[in-house]
Chain A
Amino acid sequence: MRCTLLCSLVTVLIVAGPLHAGVVNPDISVVGQPSLGFTDDSQVPDAKRVRLDVGETEMMFDSYLNPYARGIFILSLADGQLDLEEGYFTILRGLPGGLNLKGGKYRVGFGKLNSAHPHANPFAEPFHVLRTYLPGDESFNETGLSLSERLPAPGDMSLTATVDWLQGDTFRRERAVTEASIAAGDPRDTYASGPDRSGETRPAVVGRISGFTMVGERSGLEFGVSATQGTNNVAAKALTRVYGADVKAKLWNSAQSYLVLQGELLKLDREDAFWDSGTKVYVKNKVSPMGGYVFADYNFATRYNAGASFESYQSDNADKVWNKAVGLFAGFALMEETTAIRADWSHFMPGTPAESDGHTKAVNTFTIRVIYSMGPHKAHQF
């Protein structure tokens, strides 16, 4: 599938090139991010050894499709696997009332960080609370349609409402199923013929309202609330809901330096379905943890930055223990993101479950990344 996708894309570009060279060729950018890392996490196979990693390589193709729409494809190459990370169109103008419509596969606009690509962040790893609460393995990334409208607001304040209708694949949660449980009547029948309804997807929905206001001549403040709901087990009709509130402030204190303060608060409400072999019905247990993160990033002398982060969140299980993490990071960018070096240390302190022996092992991770990119560099979005 991936090979077919890449071949198709390359074919289109080759054909388009000689026909209308310089007119229809998209902007092509490539971002590499090799890294050098070290962790004492005993769960990782190469713990306590310095690891060199080529990291994820992203290839971006974007262009106006016509005066009314833009298209973008982002291919991701990691661990030898080529994947379509994002591929969507956006209708920018021509819809009634200033509506914007986006459709395809994209990083969902829940909160502030999820929609951004990790290489744009000043820290190496995404926050644990986002990876734990939001659907999806590495990010909340879905196929769907997104409709947004700018709402009336005083002065130059921007207020936008967005609603997404998603395929819902990332909400699906695997249940532990064995041959014995199937023999006992677990309807998740992977060994016999018949539909596996627990593996089906149901459409999911995301809603977000975000606002932005200038602070002084150059600084700005953005805030937002987000909510999402999807089905994690169709057969059991088990739902996952996540609610979030986010805020970001960018405060300039000179022509060449500014401070970014950013944070999110999230609450997860998830029904975890279990099959009761005795009563032969699904039983749902609800987990409702909450957590959040904050970070501060000071950028100075145009090219340097240094910052710190903190997160605290409850585990998404019955224990609901509090896990914490702190981090320090710093970076230097020669010419914007054409070449940037970023160093990162994170200290993760998992919580102690009640039934454990009371010992939790904190994990330290050090990372040095080089972000390098070729191709057109877009302007910085707030």
Chain B
Amino acid sequence: MAQAVHRSHPTPAVYWAIALFLAVVTAIEVAVPYFSVLDPVRVPLLIVLAIVKFGTVVAYFMHLRYDKKLYRTLFLFGVIGVIPLFVVVLATMHAF
């Protein structure tokens, strides 16, 4: 019998801490449009914050950080596939 050891899943305390972190990031996201001084960096900042939240949920709540590499590959295939899909959809509709 082959055996595979996986990294341990977080405890409930860690899940609560991650949720608190996500709540703080969301609060920052909501506050950004109200500060005109941030206007020059508003779009990249909001995109980075969304990526941070996305990655945190996928890594910790969906356990992709702890699970088999195969699952990560399968999911990333879809997520990365969105980029050429974006280009194809926009090109089809003559957005360029």
The judgment on whether A and B are partners is no
